[in-house]
Amino acid sequence: MWIDSHCHLDAPEFDADRDAVVQQSRAVGVHMQVLPAVAAAHFDAVHDAAHRWGLAYALGLHPLYVHQAADDDLDRLRDALTRWRDDPRLVAVGEIGLDHFVPGLDRALQERFYLAQLKLARDFGLPVILHVRRSADGLLKGLRRIEVPGGIAHAFNGSDVQADAFVARGFKLGFGGTLTYERSLNIRQLAQRLPDHVPVLETDAPDIPPHWLYRTAEQREQGDVSGRNAPFELPRIAQSLAELRGWSLAQTAAITSANCRAALPRLGALLDADTPA
């Protein structure tokens, strides 16, 4: 079985065919997806989707959305975590973090939301799903201040030293469509050298398309929407990781699924409960 550790199935890009996407994903062995929220307005959507299709979800405020957040959105997050704290499908606080790539963002505001959400994860005993974009050092600084029970550094693209620092704190590192591009030398080298217990697979669907779905900016402007990523692409993305590691696809599925279960302990318990005796 494959686990897509990061998929935005609630995104509007899936409004026309969400049921079909879930079925296509199951047909190729992707039976579990983790659906991270990005804004308070999405909390109900990821919760309901996880329950409808037997998936898992996380609740958090994404750093690219905190500039649009209401003053009470952190309170709404705490309330949702309290309301669903015993829900086995709630597996993490996320997607949270820092984004130092997009210009013009208020870094102080991002940090305030990030630290507040780390505290919530600590208080509720949940791991975190981290957005890491040119912000690894800032994220690690926060993790040194506020201890949380590990989690996943999503779409990791930092240095070897930064990777090792996350791993030392009990984090797994997420790899997806970027791994399929031969020019992604840093990511491919990192995926190749990490210990077996570190990598997890993700799509970030509908974003971060693998190379076979890539469309130029001009094509997108002309309305070409065929580049949408989806969770059923995960086994083909996994082939790149398998080749880099010298694993079979079966080994890749087993190892990355075990890593995901270790990163998100509630997910492991959920999968065990959903497996017929």
Give the pLDDT confidence of 82-120 residue by residue, as tens digits: 999 999 999 999 999 999 999 999 999 999 999 999 999
Range 104-122 burial, b when 16+ CB lie within 10 A, else e: ebeeeebbebbebbbbbbe
CB distance 182 to 197 below 8 Å: no
pTM of the shown model: 0.96
CB distance 9 to 16 below 8 Å: no
pLDDT, tens only, 46-63: 999 999 999 999 999 999
CATH architecture, domain defined by 2-270: Alpha-Beta Barrel (3.20)
Instruction: List, edge to edge, every strand of the sheet that includes 171-175.
Output: 2-4, 30-36, 56-59, 90-99, 128-133, 151-154, 171-175, 199-201
> Domain boundaries in the chain?
2-270
pLDDT, tens only, 14-45: 999 999 999 999 999 999 999 999 999 999 99
Per DSSP, what are the bridge partners of residue 90?
Answer: 57
Q: How far is CA 203 from the centre of its chain?
A: 8
Per DSSP, what are the bridge partners of residue 2?
Answer: 30
Q: How big is the chain, counted in residues? A: 277
Answer left, alpha or beta for residue 186, where phi above 0 means left and psi between -120 and 50 means alpha.
alpha
In this prediction, residue 195 has a pLDDT band, given cuts at 50, 70 and 90, of very high
